[in-house]
Amino acid sequence: MAQTETQVGDELATLAADAKALHLIEFWKERMEIELPEPRGLVKPFLWHWDDIEPRLRHAARIVPVEDCERRALLFSNPGLGGRPFMSTTLLGAYSLYNAGEVAPVHRHTPCASRFVLEGKGGYTVIEGEKCRLERGDLVITPNGTWHDHGNEGPDELIWVDILDVPLVEGLNATMFEFDYSEADPRSNSGDPVPTQYQTISEPEDHSNRLYANGGMKPLFVDRQRGSGNHSPMLVYRWKAMREAFDKMRDYEGSPYDGIIMEYCDPTNGNPVMPTMSFRAQMLRPGEQTRTHRHMSSTIYVVLEGEGWTEVDGERLEWGRNDVFVVPTWKWHAHANARKDGDAVLYSVTDEPVLRTLGLYREQTRTDDGAILPVAA
């Protein structure tokens, strides 16, 4: 005998109550949460103006002792992420400042990290015993699991932008931070490791660049597997080399979406320098405006030179020197150099390698008459 509507209603109510008590969710009630037609638009396109932040960062440098915080960083918080200290669902970023003579003690962690220097001539990071001296535009990487400490030996403030894959690693529930560094003390008779705040320098001056910054040539007498082996053996990328490369390429057409764009790579195999993030720099020539595209990856930009705008889903982010902005995944965007008499140069970090590794990467362009076309990638 067919059930009446009331009977079915009662049974569904019982099922709902039982499911709740048993920690189950009825799929047919939550489909909208799961079967998304495209990525959630939670992360907002957003720009942090250097002019707003610089005075606060310099003020923090006077009132927040580095001894108390270890890393003097103002973290970028995307307005779409409910006050969490993340720029996107995969990337964390910050402006950090270290005063003359300050040091930031050694630690290591499972997220991968990077710094891109904005100001100061005496900055350095020590990674696994290698001291990398840094100046404006230099990129230094601290791959996951590598011990690292920083310092500023210059006369002026050291300011850089940190980008880490903290939210990605947190999403995988794989976060671990360690602060208990120790190393053998040559003055101790036992030779046992002793806890210390900073690493002893064990590699020669300019190690990374001497070995690996010779484009198209790699040394055969050293082990390229430095550290875990899933990252570039070159730990610092100097701005001077990138700027010179741009100048040699300025007459090429470039990418329709990004102008003259270069990826920092592992010099031994051409891969991204770390498994989760790709680092890039691009030059937009005077007056250059790019075509619009969108892709399944999020990008953080830092403005190194010039001024212009990036239009994201119809919203214009107007940028200038040292500004930082985010283009969330799957948002239409195009860039423009506003100046007619100078280049604009953007540094960027994207989670694209993760998306590619997982087979999730895709890219589209939109023609002037609105047709959407795939971009072969």
Task: Give the residues lining the site for ligand 1HN (CB under 6 A).
Answer: 71, 73, 92, 94, 104, 113, 148, 150, 162, 164, 166
Question: Which C-beta is closer to ligand 1HN: that of 150 or that of 335?
Answer: 150
Question: For residues 315 and 80, is the Cβ–Cβ distance under 8 A?
Answer: no
Residue 133: CB minimum distance to ligand 1HN, A: 16
* 130 strand-pairing partners: 127
Question: Which C-beta is closer to ligand 1HN: that of 52 or that of 178?
Answer: 178
Question: Which C-beta is closer to ligand 1HN: that of 139 or that of 344?
Answer: 139
Residue 179: CB minimum distance to ligand 1HN, A: 11
Residues 6+ apart with CB under 8 A from 118: 95, 136, 159, 160, 161, 302, 322
Helix (H, G, I), strand (E, B) or coil at 183: strand
Residue 99: CB minimum distance to ligand 1HN, A: 15
Residue 250: CB minimum distance to ligand 1HN, A: 34
The DSSP-derived string for 258-282 is: TBEEEE-B-TTT--BSSSS-EEEEE
Question: Which C-beta is closer to ligand 1HN: that of 168 or that of 344?
Answer: 168
Question: Which C-beta is closer to ligand 1HN: that of 154 or that of 167?
Answer: 167
CB-closest chain residue to ligand 1HN? 71
**What are the backbone angles phi and psi of residue 88, rounded to the nearest 5°?**
-150, -175
- Work out whether strand 148-152 and strand 123-127 pair parallel, antiparallel, or are unpaired: antiparallel
Question: Which C-beta is closer to ligand 1HN: that of 53 or that of 245?
Answer: 53
Nearest CA to 322 out of 43, 44, 58, 42 is that of 58
Residues 6+ apart with CB under 8 A from 338: 306, 307, 308, 309, 318, 344
Nearest CA to 113 out of 80, 139, 79, 138 is that of 139
Q: DSSP state, 86?
A: -
Residue 148: CB minimum distance to ligand 1HN, A: 6
Residue 144: CB minimum distance to ligand 1HN, A: 11
